[in-house]
């Protein structure tokens, strides 16, 4: 039979062939499979080995036990509650890159994807074991089912916002229904801003409105910021406004 020291070295070597990371820490075998981990006392694994006197059987048994535990915490996406969410390209990057699954939306803005559990968003990660094509398809279908009318901020101005506050107001800019509303009220060449998740501002293309929209961006009090820029949509192409247009 193997000594506990030899057993520990051997089982760590074999567990590393199955799992991303396996190591000994104190009296425990730690198995990590991002973003979760499992710790099992070495004495428990070695105790089974002493009883069975069968290393391969012990190894297979604990691989199954560890897999079962990890699967309990495995991210399971709810396709009925997944949505796209516009965020700054800098969001989630830097020293602690959170590895969000993201795509370029336009200019300096990205599309991320979230599952909505009511009070909590869970961002979809690149490392999640999901079908990303299904995630995107379901997310855009769910967003396109939302309805939120554009209303004027002031009767004297051709500047609009959304009537109801939701966490997806900025992202609704990209929905088919809202694009149709904008086309009817303003046309296909317009100004817009997405200062935060809950705020979308859309306005007729004119120099005077750029300053007004910039002031509205400054007073937006939602902490979930997206961008402090004013953008222009011209025939379906979004970019940061060039004030020399």
> In this structure, what token pair is assigned to residue 105?
């939306």
Give the tens place of pLDDT for each residue, 89-115.
998 886 556 788 999 999 999 999 999
Name, of 14-28, 96-110, 130-144, the range with top average pLDDT. 130-144
**Model pLDDT, residue 20:** 87
> In this structure, what token pair is assigned to residue 176?
């088919």
Across the chain, how many H-helices and E-strands are there? 6, 13
Nearest to 203 by CA among 156, 167, 137: 156
Instruction: For residues 189 and 200, give the distance between their C-alpha atoms in angstroms, rounded to a whole number.
Output: 16
| SS3 label, residue 221 | coil
Q: Provide the H-helix boundaries in the chain.
A: 4-15, 42-52, 55-72, 132-144, 176-185, 207-219
Question: pLDDT over 90 for what percent of the chain?
Answer: 70
Output the DSSP codes for 139-190. Answer: HHHHHHT----EEESSTTS-EEEESS--TTTTGGGGSHHHHHHHHHHT-SEE
Give the tens place of pLDDT for each residue, 192-220.
999 999 999 999 999 999 999 999 999 99
CB under 8 A, 24+ apart: contacts of 70-73: 70/31, 70/33, 70/36, 70/38, 73/36
Q: Which of 67-71, 186-190, 226-230 has the lowest mean pLDDT?
A: 67-71
Q: Backbone phi, then psi, for 143, in 5-degree steps?
A: -65, -40
With bands split at pLDDT 50, 70 and 90, how would you rate the model's confidence at 149? very high
Nearest to 159 by CA among 91, 208, 95: 208
**Model pLDDT, residue 245:** 65
Instruction: For residues 27 and 142, give the distance between their C-alpha atoms in angstroms, rounded to a whole number.
Output: 48
Q: Are 91 and 181 contacting, i.e. CB atoms less than 8 angstroms apart? A: no
Instruction: For residues 51 and 179, give the distance between their C-alpha atoms in angstroms, rounded to a whole number.
Output: 69
Residues forming a β-bridge with 161? 151, 201
């Amino acid at each position: 039979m193997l000594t506990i020291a030899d057993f520990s070295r051997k089982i760590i070597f074999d567990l590393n062939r199955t799992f991303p990371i396996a190591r000994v820490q104190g009296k425990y075998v730690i198995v990590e499979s991002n973003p979760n981990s499992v710790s099992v006392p070495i004495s428990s694994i070695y105790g089974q080995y002493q009883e069975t006197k069968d290393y391969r059987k012990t190894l297979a048994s604990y691989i199954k036990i560890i897999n079962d535990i990890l699967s309990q915490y495995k991210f399971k996406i709810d396709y009925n509650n997944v949505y796209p969410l516009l965020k700054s390209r800098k969001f989630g990057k830097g020293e602690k890159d959170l590895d969000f699954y993201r795509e370029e939306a336009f200019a300096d803005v990205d599309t991320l994807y979230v599952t909505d559990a009511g009070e909590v968003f869970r961002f979809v990660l690149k490392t999640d074991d999901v079908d990303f094509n299904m995630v995107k398809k379901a997310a855009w279908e769910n967003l396109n089912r939302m309805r939120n009318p554009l209303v004027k901020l002031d009767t004297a101005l051709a500047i609009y916002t959304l009537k109801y506050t939701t966490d997806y107001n900025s992202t609704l800019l990209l929905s088919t229904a809202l694009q149709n509303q904008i086309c009817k009220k303003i046309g296909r060449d317009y100004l817009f801003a997405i200062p935060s998740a809950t705020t979308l501002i859309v306005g007729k293309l004119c120099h005077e409105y750029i300053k007004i929209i910039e002031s509205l961006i400054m007073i937006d009090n939602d902490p979930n910021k997206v961008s402090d820029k004013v953008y222009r949509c011209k025939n379906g192409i979004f970019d940061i406004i060039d004030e020399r247009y």
